Amino acid sequence: MGKKLLVALGVLVLVAAAWSGPAWAQKGPIKIGYQGPMTGPAAAVGKDMANGLKMYLDEVGHQIAGRKVELIVEDNQGQPDLALTKLRKLVESDKVHVMAGGLFAHIGYALAPKVDEYKVPMLYPVMAADDLTQRKPAKWVVRTGWTGSQPSHPFGEWVFKTLGYKKVVVVGMDYAFGWEVVGGFQKSFEEAGGQVIQKLWPPLNTTDFAPYLAQIRKDADAVFALMVAVSSLRFPKQYQDAGLKARLPLIGGGTTFDEFVLPSLGDEAIGGISPLIYSAALDTPVNKRFVKEYRAKFGKVPSYYSETYYTAGRWINEAAKAIGGNVEDNERFLAALRKVEISDAPRGPIKLDAYGNPIQNIYIRKVEKKDGELWNTVIQTFPAVSQFWKYKPDEFLKQPVYSRDFPPCKFC
């Protein structure tokens, strides 16, 4: 066996030699590394994300600050271990200058320490893990997206005051993002006077909700659901089939009724109310153009996943222009990335707060049917909301990060 193993290893070494490839030229293209789930249960979301970024790069003719742009797309299957391996590959082997990627919040936490170690700026256009711009800031992570609790803060109070619900049951995906979206909602909803009377936590990527739906307490006024990707596809239908929709209105986190799932949903989704940083139905010229062109190119309505990655492309462009395209100077590039302000993104104006999270509009959206299609009609806009909303940052940061047990369920 030894001889053959030797041969196998010889081949391996040859591959290695070929892999090292041509030396990287000082002023070659600007290399952007993307990683997302391109296969696996969340693959469709990964495509929305990559399409958004590609669309922007196509629009600028793959030229940024006078240099060509090369986009390297890697598949991480939504798995943290693979995400770390792909991060190594993009930095060590492809020598990218900047990265943008990720979907699930827990992967955001897994990648951040490694990104800091490599000192290559990485944009998090979607990964909303709160603490990365709160209690555990990561220097080299530039969050151009949002924190999970950001839309929930104004939404909780609004639900109590405007919709008048007093008692709410929460069904949330059992991981960082779910806890944060639910936690933000619970905090402001209960401070306004409401009560969260039950919290159910199905695991990530659950598709059969029957055991959870059966447990929902009958004395609630509404159900707040936080679903993601494949779970969003299944939940509203099962909610209706369980006979709950007629009795208990369904509200939720933004991803529960995202444009990514709406085309696959039927009338069961109509009436769902959720807050998010974007709606494809936004009635601004910039967004209308964006939606029209995205549809022409990819045959579907852009979701917030597409919008945030599209804007991430723009973000990189603005920062690279500000330093004359010299992205090799990573410290200056990072500083420039942090200074970017965009006044006319499809989702509205964006700039970073002192902690590195965008201050942006939060839209409260209601699913309605127009011309045979489901849309998230914007029924209320909260302009320029920061991750801390009306709270004082230093006081807010004294509370622990939202988790399964925080805020505690006082009324359960």
Query: Which residue, 82 or 270, is less far from other proteins as judged by CB?
Result: 82
Residue in 45, 112, 251, 273 binding other proteins, rule: CB under 8 A: 112
CA distance 242 to 261: 20
- Least gap, CB of 9 to other proteins (angstroms): 5
Is 207 a residue that touches other proteins (CB under 8 A)? Answer: no
Nearest CA among 312, 327, 329, 337 for reference residue 28: 327
- Interface with other proteins includes 38 (CB under 8 A)? yes
Torsion of CA 146, 149, 154, 157, to 10 degrees: 170
Size of the site for other proteins (CB under 8 A): 44
Of the candidates 112, 62, 158, the one whose C-alpha atom is nearest the C-alpha of residue 366 is 158
- C-alpha closest to that of 99 among 316, 314, 289: 316
Q: Which of 39, 215, 284, 399 lies at the binding interface for other proteins (CB under 8 A)? A: 39
Classify burial at 397, counting beta carbons within 10 Å of its beta carbon; exposed 0-12, middle 13-18, buried 19 or more: middle
Q: What is the distance between the alpha carbons of residues 208 and 234, in angstroms, rounded to a whole number?
A: 8
C-beta of residue 158 within 8 angstroms of C-beta of residue 381: no
Q: Does residue 296 belong to the site contacting other proteins (CB under 8 A)? A: no
Q: Least distance from C-beta 5 to other proteins, angstroms?
A: 5
Binding residue for other proteins, selected from 41, 67, 79, 353, defined by CB under 8 A: 79
User: Residues 358-394, buried b or exposed e (16+ Cβ, 10 A)?
Assistant: bbbbbbbbbbbeeeeebbbbbeeebeebbbbbebeee
Q: Which of 28, 113, 193, 243 binds other proteins (CB under 8 A)?
A: 113
The single residue listed with the structure tokens 């309505």 is: 301
Residue 24 sits in the site that holds other proteins (CB under 8 A): no
For tokens 């827990």, what's the residue?
106
Nearer to other proteins, 93 or 162 (CB): 93
**How far is 157 from 161, CA to CA, in rounded Å?**
6
Q: Compute how many other C-beta atoms are within 10 angstroms of the C-beta atom of residue 147.
A: 28
Query: Which C-beta is closer to other proteins: that of 3 or that of 27?
Result: 3
Residue that is written with structure tokens 């104006």 in the block: 349
Distance in Å, CB of 215 to other proteins, minimum: 17
Judged by CB under 8 A, the chain residues 46 through 75 that form the site for other proteins are 74-75
Phi, psi at residue 73, to the nearest 5°? -100, 125
Candidate residues 62, 89, 332, 351; the one interacting with other proteins per rule CB under 8 A: 89
Q: Which region among 141-149, 220-228, 316-324, 402-410 touches other proteins (by CB under 8 A)?
A: 402-410
- In the complex with other proteins, the residue whose CB is nearer, 62 or 404, is 404
DSSP line for 19-36: HH-SPPPTT-PEEEEEEE
Distance between alpha carbon 381 and the CA centroid of its chain, in Å? Answer: 20
Residues numbered 136-175 forming contacts with other proteins, rule: CB under 8 A: 174-175
Judged by CB, which is closer to other proteins: 106, or 351?
106
Contact in structure between 138 and 112 (CB atoms under 8 Å)? yes
**Contact between 266 and other proteins (CB under 8 A)?**
no
Of 127 and 374, nearer to other proteins (C-beta) is 127
Q: Could you say which of 59, 60, 68, 81 contacts other proteins (CB under 8 A)?
A: 81
State the nearest-atom distance from the C-beta of 352 to other proteins, in Å.
23
Rounded least distance, CB 304 to other proteins, Å: 22
16 is a site residue for other proteins (CB under 8 A): yes
Q: Does 5 bind other proteins (CB under 8 A)?
A: yes
**Binding flag, residue 185, other proteins (CB under 8 A):** no
Binding-site member from 41, 62, 70, 84 for other proteins (CB under 8 A): 84
Among 28, 193, 203, 408, binds other proteins (CB under 8 A): 203
CA dihedral 46, 52, 54, 60 (to 10 degrees): -170
**Residue 260 token pair:** 């990514």
Residues that bind other proteins (CB under 8 A): 1-6, 8-10, 12-13, 15-17, 19-20, 38-39, 74-75, 79-81, 84-85, 88-89, 92-93, 105-106, 109-110, 112-114, 174-176, 203-204, 403-405
